[in-house]
Every structure is written in structure tokens, then in C-alpha cells.
Structure 1
Amino acid sequence: MTDTTGRRAYRSDLRREQAEATRRRIVDAARPLLLERGYAAATMAEVAAAAGVAVQTLYAACPGGKAGLAKLVYDVTLAGDARPIPQAERDEVRAIVEEPDPARKLELYAAMASGVAARIAPLYQVLRAAEAAAPADAALHDVLRRTDEEHRAGARGPAAHLSDVDALRPGLSVERAADQIFALTSVDVYARLTQLCGWTIDEYREWLAATLRANLLAGYA
């Protein structure tokens, strides 16, 4: 009997690599179009042409059409790449978990959150502007609602981790700690400080780390 296990694994890996490459091409093509032309003006046909894929391929990669495309671009921009790797398994997160000093954990977290905010802010603002201009676009509204929900859910991870290592200040629940992390790392706060107040990303990162320490850790208030 012929052993086909290795052949199946090879085909599966190849399909995964091809899917990742397609997602990268789509995102690399769509992001500048969305940023330069806006959500409403950028068309699926233009994105497909720029990515070098068929329109049908684009729709298959982005269930939900234009809103699905926006979510794909948002997710890849947020992660920094198109690899389907869970956040908890990424190097930056693992470094935070493995760091023994709670204050240093928050410095590393602030550095990671600053990088994410810098990457995602331009796209987030374009999508928010499109939502304001077209309040009846339920699909876009749902995408933005989900991004906020995912951000809030993601904030619970570091809060729970600090609780697990007995680093949260007395009386602060995981839920309230997560709410503070969610608010402090919001794109709106980042944009106000860096765009309106003129802070550098380094100044934002240092402020975020100091504010997180003061609000979350025992002995830093």
C-alpha cells in the first residue's frame, strides 16, 4: 500500500502557502487604495487588478465583499503580516509572558501596542470616516463593531496574565484592568496624542507604559 500521508501534508502546506501569498498580494494592493482613495471610492475590481488576481478570487478571499476586504486588510495590518498565527503564539506576546518583572512586562506591552497603533491608525480613521459618511452601511458598521469588540477582548489577556502572576494592584479586578488597557491603547487616544498634540511615537510609548504601571500595578500609583 502506498503511504500518501506525506503527499497530503505537502499539498496542505502548499495550499496554505499559496493562500497566504494571495492574502498578502490582496492586502498590499488594497491598503494603499483604501488610504489614498477612501473606502467608498476604492473598488473591488481595482483591488483585484492591482493584486493580480481574478475578481472571483478576491471575493472568495474576502467573504462579505468590500466590508470583508476591509476586515482582511485591518486584521493583517494589525498583526503586521498575513501569517495565520494566533496572537498568543507570536514572539512579542511570548516575550511579555516570559518576562518576570511586571513593570518590564508593561514596557514590552506598551512597545507592542504602540507599534500596532501606528500601523492601524491610518486605516482605522479611513474606515471610521467612511462609516460616518454612510451610516446606513450595515456591513461596514459591523466590521468596525467587531474590531472594537476584538480589541476589548484582547485587552483581557494582559489583564488576566498580570492577575495570574499576582501583579495587579489590590482591589483591581481583571475586568476593570482590561477596561483600562482597552481605553488607553485605543486608536483614538493614540491619534489624539500623536496627531493633534504632536507627540512622537516614543513619547506615546513611554507615557503608555508609565500610565499602565500607575493604574495596574501595586506600588506604582
Structure 2
Amino acid sequence: MRTAVNGPDKAPRAYDASGRRARAAESRRAVLACARSLFFAPGFASTTVAEIARAAGVSAEFVYKNFGSKAGLVRAIWDQSLLGSGGVPAEQRSDAAQAEATDPGALMEQFGRFVAEISPIGSPVALLIRDAAASGDADMAALQQEVDAARYERMLHNARRVIARGLLRPGLSEAEAADVFFMTTSAELYETLVLKRGWTPEHFGRFVAATLKANLL
């Protein structure tokens, strides 16, 4: 007589999907890493989803299922860049700095350090989106509008928080403060000073801090 594998009184072993989820997450990270590399060289327009899938060791179906399209891949790379290089997401660290700050100048210096951290990761992606949109890619043009709108809303969020805490000069409007934040975090400013003029990210961050102090405090 054959004995049941789990024994007569044992319930069937539950299926543990954690391993499968971990492998899928690792595959998504590999896809984004390969997409980022290929989009910058040889370039966004000439790179296909099939090439990205092959480089990442997954199927094209996996890429489409998880990211939807090439524009979806760029959007995911952009979102990933906003986390920064620290263990805690940069926006979370920024909110904490704004909540805890008592010295406005020190807060602007902290903002400058955040920009120095994030810009080398995020600005090349923003410039890729801009250039692809300018080439006539409708999906990337829509993504550029979405990214710009989201970035402005984040800068408006920052402006409202620091004004509410009385950290900026009296009479400064939320809109003007948001515009200053928006300008100093732009990929175009990073492109001009770092990519074209050869500034280091640290020098760039100090310039951003000085610009924020001069215009907001």
C-alpha cells in the first residue's frame, strides 16, 4: 500500500511564491539596467525591446508585460533615478530635512547635496526624454509632459512646506519659490554646467545651494 507523501494527518504543503517573486523582481532590475545602458548607447531610437530582452536574459513578452513599451521602460528608469543613491528614497529624506530644519541656509545646502546626488542619475534620463520627444516620438512627448508636471508639483510641494515653516524670506509666493526650485533641479542646468562645462556634481550642488540662498532667503 502506497503511503501519502505528507502522511495521513498532514495538510498539503502551501506553495511558497516568494522565490518566484524575487526572481521576477531581479529580472525587472536586469531589464532596467540593460535598457538604461542601451538607450544611452547606441541610443533610444535604434534600440528595440527584443535587444533589451536578449541582453537581460528574458523574453520580449516579459518586458512588455512588466513595462508596456519603450516609453514605459524610460518612465520606470526615471522613477528609479528619483530614489537617489541612498538607502532611503531621496524624496523621503528631503521631506524629513524640511520638517526638521531650523536653519534656512543649512536646509538650502542640504537641497544642494540632494541635487548633486540625484542629477547624475536622473538628468541624463530627462535629457533622453527631451531629445526623443523633440525627434517626434509621441509617446516620449507625452512622457515629457508627465515628468515635467510631476517635477513641478514636487517643487510646489517643497515650496509650500518651507514657506509654511517660515524658512523663506517674507513676501515670497509659493509659485515663485516653486519656480526657483524647478529651475535649479532642471536637467538643462545640469547639462550646461556639468556635461558641457565640466563641473563636478559636488560643485554643481554647491552652486544650486548658493542660488537657492540668493533667491529664496
Q: TM-score range by the shorter chain?
A: 0.7 to 0.9
> Equivalences for 1:28-39 in 2 at 5 Å?
28-39=33-44
Matches within 5 A, 1:23-172: 23-63=28-68, 65-80=69-84, 88-89=91-92, 91=93, 93-133=95-135, 135=136, 137-172=137-172
Partner Cα distance (1:16, 1:149) in 2: 32
**Secondary structure of 2:37's aligned partner:** helix
Larger Rg over CA atoms: 2
Q: Give 1:200 deviation, angstroms.
A: 2.2
Does the 8 Å CA contact 1:34/1:123 hold for their aligned counterparts? no
User: Secondary structure of the residue that 1:42 maps to in structure 2?
Assistant: coil
Letter in 1 for 2:80: V
Contact 1:96/1:109 (8 A) holds in 2: no
Cα pair distance change 1:88/1:118, threshold 3 Å: closer
Query: AA paired with 1:75?
Result: D
Distance 1:162 1:15, change over 3 A: farther
| Structure-2-length-normalised TM-score | 0.82
Alignment gaps of 5+ in structure 2: 1-13
| Post-superposition offset of 1:88 | 4.2
Over the residues paired in the alignment, what is the CA RMSD in angstroms?
A: 2.5
Count of residues in Structure 1 that have an aligned counterpart in Structure 2: 203
Bigger shift: residues 13-22 or 47-56: 13-22
Q: Secondary structure at the match of 2:45?
A: coil
Separation in 2 of the partners of 1:158 and 1:77? Answer: 19
Partner residue, 2:7: none
For 1:156-209, what per-residue CA distance to the aligned partner results, in whole angstroms no more than 9, with x for missing partners?
222122112111211111122111110121010111112223322222111110
Change beyond 3 A, Cα 1:20–1:109: farther
